[in-house]
Structure 1
Amino acid sequence: MISVVIPALNEQDTVADVVALALRSPAQEVIVIDADSTDATAQRAADAGARVVNWRDAHPLPPQKGKGESLWRGVQVARGDVVVFLDADLSQVHPEIVSMLAQPFADPKVQLVKANYARPMADGTEGGRVTALLARPLLGLCVPELAHVRQPLGGEYAIRRDVALDLCFVSDYGVEVALLIDVARAFGPEAIVEVEAGVRTHRNRSLQELEHTATQVAAAILSRAGHPGISLEQREPARAIEPNE
């Protein structure tokens, strides 16, 4: 069974299209984790056919701020053997992205599947500035066995739910690269597969927002690499947390 989890915060303009794309896939359930949106995100996701879960209802623990927290809570409520994550702000993505991310799990050795894609910006230049200028170089220095991964920060990827339940989820935007490193260390880099997914576009963020994201990503990589003095806000493995804690 495949579950699609879409973390969302104030993405009313795009979330319905992302839900519709997921519903056209082989997924058996599509879940939007709404992080207390103040716009019409939750209603539009529900109208499009998603199961909308407010992040406070996904687990009794009070939510921590950040995207990773929504992903962690999505894993709690998902029922599929494979969980496919999609960002809610996508304006262009391969129409078969869910199937493409799920197919490699036919190989029992595969634990994590990442999408690789071009990321053009509105002016035609290549996006993914934090990825190109920080994440890939820092992975090359600190975790060289993952230097080949082209989109380590991309929000379109899939993981076996049993594996996700046993991993720590960094609460902020460092979540994707931390999961990448953790899976590689637990199962070996060969347990991670990339699929070619064409072109992806989403809402481009300001340099101020990207500076904040870059700091979180750098902290996640350096912390996982054993750099002293860096602490991360993260959730412990879900199996280790009792629902009533």
Structure 2
Amino acid sequence: MSDFYQNGIITNFHNLTRRPLEALESDLLGFSKRRPMGLILPSLFSELEGPALTRIIDQLSQVEYLSEIIIGLDRADRDQFLYAREFFSRLPQRHRILWNDGPRLKALDAELAAESLSPQAPGKGRNVWFCSGYAISSGRAEAIALHDCDITTYDRSMLARLLYPVANPHFNYEFCKGYYARIADGKLNGRVGRLMVTPLLRALKKIHGPLDYLNYLDSYRYPLSGEFAMRADVLNDIRIPSDWGLEIGVLSEVHRNYSTKRLCQVDIADNYDHKHQPLSPEDASTGLYRMSTDIAKALYRKLATLGVTMNEAHFRTLKATYYRTALDIIENYYHDAMMNGLKVDRHSEEQAVELFAQSIMEAGVAFLESPRDKPFIPSWSRVQSAFPDMLERMYDAVEADNAGDV
């Protein structure tokens, strides 16, 4: 059972009583009459061939309160898209697949790219951005959740708890972030969150003082979780990174646009696991090496917009401060794991910290060397200013892909 403390600057929803799923879903079904709900699923085609997504779809098939499910499909040719249409056909809810590699959406993407309004790189951020545009154009949901498609321990209670704070018409929350303990197979996981993000935020506070933004991020128990929900109006003005900085970028954007009184987090699972990225110490373009570098750059960009001055000397100091803070945190996690009968490989934990310290410095160098870098995908409000009919055309393209020959 989790604690009941409200010790951050955002509201924390706990799982205090293990309220039955049936009761939660009954409430949500009632809420849906006033505030319809939807779900975005960003997916690679390869995930359709694994057990995790099959379980997720089986669970979602039992959810009665969803008005729409939007699936973003990446890396799929024509035959694979047709397979996906059949794969998702057992969903009883209205559902649409965005075939991001199909000719219709690629043609729209080319128009956007000609005006520098398209995401510059493929990936989850790009997928989520196009799904968000379709959700706006559809207008069938006022509260929208998003979660990954590789959750091997998925249960539909995760979705119910995630949506509840933004779907309840008596609450005024605009955004909700899911959190959970990353424990599987008798060991602690979530290395980037535990050993990189948390000690990096605390190192930044030591150097710059308790900035509101840093206190805000440090209030999230798992800032890198891929599960969040929001009111539909949030999607119009949000700008998100197209790289691994997506989750930090989303948190930064809602902090910029809304009072912290309108933001919250919720405990959505006792048991959570998904596919794991390798550390990849020899290849900065993949795995946790790239992830940690992208996350650090996302933090630096946000701090720069707040007037924080950074130079090479600053990043050297930050690297050293982070490293000492992270080593202390390793000790804390090691003792916590021992008390709970879990395994922690301290050698591999310290190897991860050494890599993250390196990526923090390399991210700083890249940040200084690319002052004109445009990492954020433009908001849909800006797109609609340049192309007033783009959302309608996207809607028509998706409908055509899902209903007719391709």
TM-score by length of 2: 0.55
Deviations 1:191-212 (A, max 9, x none): 2211111221111121121111
The SS at the match of 1:96 is helix
Pick from 68, 73, 76 the counterpart of residue 125 of structure 2.
68
Q: How does 1:1-245 map to 2 (within 5 A)?
A: 1-9=36-44, 10-12=46-48, 13=50, 14-25=52-63, 26-37=65-76, 42=84, 45-49=87-91, 50-56=95-101, 60-62=108-110, 64-78=121-135, 79=139, 80-105=141-166, 106=168, 107=170, 109-122=172-185, 124-140=186-202, 141=204, 143-198=214-269, 199-208=271-280, 209-226=287-304, 229=368, 231-241=373-383, 242=387, 243=390
Contact 1:82-1:161 within 8 A present in 2 as well: yes
* Distance (Å, rounded) in 1 between the aligned partners of 2:87 and 2:193: 29
Cα distance in 2, alignment partners of residues 205 and 152 from structure 1 = 17
CA pair 30-179 structure 1, distance change in 2 beyond 3 A: same
| 1:55 CA drift (Å) | 2.1
The sequence identity of aligned pairs, in percent, is: 23
**Structure 1 residues 22 and 32, CA, compared in 2 at 3 Å: closer, same or farther?**
same
Q: Which has the higher strand share?
A: 1
Q: What TM-score, normalized to structure 1?
A: 0.88
Structure 1: runs of 5 or more not aligned: none
Cα distance, 1:98 vs structure 2: 1.7
Distance in 1, matches of 2:67 and 2:300, equals 37
Q: Distance in 2 between matches of 1:232 and 1:200?
A: 34
* Distance change in 2, residues 1:167/1:116 (3 Å): same
Partners of 2:175 and 2:152 lie apart in 1 by 24
Cα separation, partners in 2 of 1:219 and 1:179, compared to 1, 3 Å = same
CA distance in structure 2 between the aligned counterparts of 1:61 and 1:70, rounded to whole angstroms: 12
Task: Provide closer, same or farther for how the CA distance between residues 83 and 206 of structure 1 changes in structure 2, counting only shifts above 3 A.
Answer: same
Larger Rg, first or second structure (1 or 2): 2
- Secondary structure at the counterpart of residue 204 of structure 1: coil
Give the Å deviation of 1:239: 1.5
Question: Which range moved further: 136-145 or 215-224?
Answer: 136-145
More helix by share: 2
In the TM superposition, what is the alpha-carbon distance from 1:144 to its structure 2 partner? Answer: 2.0
CA 1:77–1:20: 2 relative to 1, 3 Å: farther
Is the Cα contact below 8 Å between 2:59 and 2:155 reproduced in 1?
no
Deviates more, 1:193-202 or 1:14-23: 14-23
Amino acid at match of 1:23: S
Shift of 1:139: 3.6
Q: Unmatched 5+ residue regions in structure 2?
A: 1-35, 111-118, 206-213, 281-286, 305-309, 311-366, 394-406
Take 2:279 and 2:234, find their aligned partners in 1: how far apart are those partners?
34
